[in-house]
Amino acid sequence: MTQHHTVLIIGGGAAGVSIANNMRRQDATIDIAIVEPSEKHYYQPGFTIVGGGAYTLKQTLRNEADLIPASVKWHKEYADSFLPEENAVVLRSGDKLTYEYLVVCPGIQLDWHKIQGLAETLGKNGVCSNYSPDTVEYTWECVKNLESGTALFTQPPMPIKCAGAPQKIVYLTADRLRKKGILDKLNLEFCNAGGVLFGVPFFCASLG
Ligand SMILES: Cc1cc2nc3c(=O)[nH]c(=O)nc-3n(C[C@H](O)[C@H](O)[C@H](O)COP(=O)(O)OP(=O)(O)OC[C@H]3O[C@@H](n4cnc5c(N)ncnc54)[C@H](O)[C@@H]3O)c2cc1C
């Protein structure tokens, strides 16, 4: 089956729903569609404070349906391939969507398997990550139970979902340890694969 839309948005994350809502506010008549397979929408910046213990995972969760304007057509599906010469996108079901304008925002995929052994140990053995709803609650469990030893924080090279996130959890952890009066009992190490502490020089100066 083939359907046509004036504007076709791939991905209903922060970018996709913002674009759909903004366009709809500007023009009530334009034919807009979103391709998004998930019924759940996570506010990912909130994951930092879930890991830091100030927010629950549930507080970051919204129903995707509540974020897509009723007059925007939602295809609950994966985009499978792009046919730019036909102005078309083929969905996993085999259906085809054609467009006049295409917005591609399917986010960043987490490739845990590209680091040897990571997928096997993530979520246990004191190995945690704030980058996924599946792993972030375990970060808080680890932080909460820190009493002594070394806590290692890592920042991979770009592209990553949020350049500040790896540092923010270090500061939140240090703050928790300070409040518990045990900061001096722990060694916090931040291993940064990037060239600078933060890409914006104004902030970098005070962080360094
Ligand atoms: C821990 C953490 C902290 C962060 N902190 C901040 C912060 O403080 N400030 C800030 O500005 N940003 C922050 N960010 C970054 C911010 O969350 C992202 O930049 C933002 O979510 C990116 O939006 P997006 O729509 O591009 O991708 P996403 O929000 O990841 O959405 C992508 C969507 O595309 C869908 N999708 C994937 N594949 C397909 C497909 N084949 N077909 C159709 N749909 C598909 C997915 O289901 C998903 O819903 C943080 C991120 C994390 C993880």
Cβ(56)–Cβ(141) below 8 Å = no
Q: Which of ligand 1's atoms lies nearest the C-alpha of 105?
A: 26
Which residue puts its alpha carbon closest to atom 4 of ligand 1?
Answer: 45
Task: Check if 166 has its Cβ closer than 6 Å to any atom of ligand 1.
Answer: no
117 CA distance to ligand 1 centroid (A)? Answer: 25
DSSP track, 100-157: EEEEE-------GGGSTTHHHHTTSTT---SSSTTTHHHHHHHHHT--SEEEEEEEPS
For residues 37 and 43, give the distance between their C-alpha atoms in angstroms, rounded to a whole number.
16
Residue 121 buriedness (CB in 10 A; 0-12 / 13-18 / 19+): exposed
Return per-residue pLDDT of the chain as tens, 208 residues.
999 999 999 999 999 999 999 999 999 999 999 999 999 999 999 999 999 999 999 999 999 999 999 999 999 999 999 999 999 999 999 999 999 999 999 999 999 999 999 999 999 999 999 999 999 999 999 999 999 999 999 998 888 888 889 999 999 999 999 999 999 999 999 999 987 888 888 888 888 7
What is the predicted pLDDT for the residue at 128?
A: 97
Task: Check if 45 has its Cβ closer than 6 Å to any atom of ligand 1.
Answer: yes
Q: Strand 96-104's sheet: what is its strand order?
A: 73-75, 32-35, 2-10, 96-104, 88-91, 79-83
What is the predicted pLDDT for the residue at 198?
A: 83
158 CA distance to ligand 1 centroid (A)? Answer: 15
Q: Which CATH number fits domain 2-50+59-104: 3.40.190.10, 3.50.50.60, 3.40.50.300, 2.60.40.1180?
A: 3.50.50.60
What is the predicted pLDDT for the residue at 156?
A: 87
For residues 141 and 136, give the distance between their C-alpha atoms in angstroms, rounded to a whole number.
9
Domain ranges of the chain: 2-50+59-104, 112-207
Q: Which of ligand 1's atoms lies nearest the C-alpha of 132?
A: 53
> Whose CA is closest to 63, among 74, 52, 51?
74
Q: Which of ligand 1's atoms lies nearest the C-alpha of 17?
A: 25
Which residue puts its alpha carbon closest to atom 6 of ligand 1?
Answer: 45
For residues 34 and 6, give the distance between their C-alpha atoms in angstroms, rounded to a whole number.
11
- 75 DSSP β-pair partners: 35
Q: Sign of the C-alpha dihedral, residues 92, 23, 132, 113? A: positive
